[in-house]
Amino acid sequence: MSGAIKPKHQRLVLALLAIAALIGAGLLAAWALRNQASYFYVPSDIAAAPPAPDQAVRLGGMVQAGSLKTLPDGVTVRFMVGDGKANVPVRYSGILPDLFVEGSGVVAEGRLAADGTFVADNLLAKHDENYVPRELKDMTDAQARATVAETGK
């Protein structure tokens, strides 16, 4: 009797090794991404259960009317983001998106500071379904479609 493994058992061992490798790769990917995940919060979520300081999160809501203030450095702005139930103060340094105005939707990516202020690294301004780009605003529907078709080539 020889010490060689039967082909049937070889296939079983290879299948088990492949399954173990796939599980290991999945666990490794999940572990690597655990700190890269950015959770989405609305102001009432932050008021009820704030994220840990310095945890990367996204804050979404409406920019409250009358809350937008530019600080003396000319680059930093402060404003309030609300969802109808709670408001969160936000501070952002950088160039504001073109669509960013009071009363519009915004998604701020950043971290909640220890004092309760959300320090944004990036702002994403949202628009409603009636949004029309400036370049297409004064065109007829036919002209706008033609312009879009030309740029899509």
What are the extents of the domains in the chain? 1-37, 39-125
**pLDDT per residue as tens digits for the range 33-45:** 765 566 888 898 8
Instruction: Write down the pTM of the prediction.
Output: 0.62
Work out the mean pLDDT of the chain and round it to a whole number: 83
**CATH code of the region 39-125:** 2.40.50.140
**pLDDT per residue as tens digits for the range 108-134:** 999 999 888 999 999 988 765 555 555
Contact criterion met (CB below 8 Å) for 43 and 62 = no
pLDDT of 100:
84
CA angle in degrees (0–180, nearest 5) for 120-107-115: 40
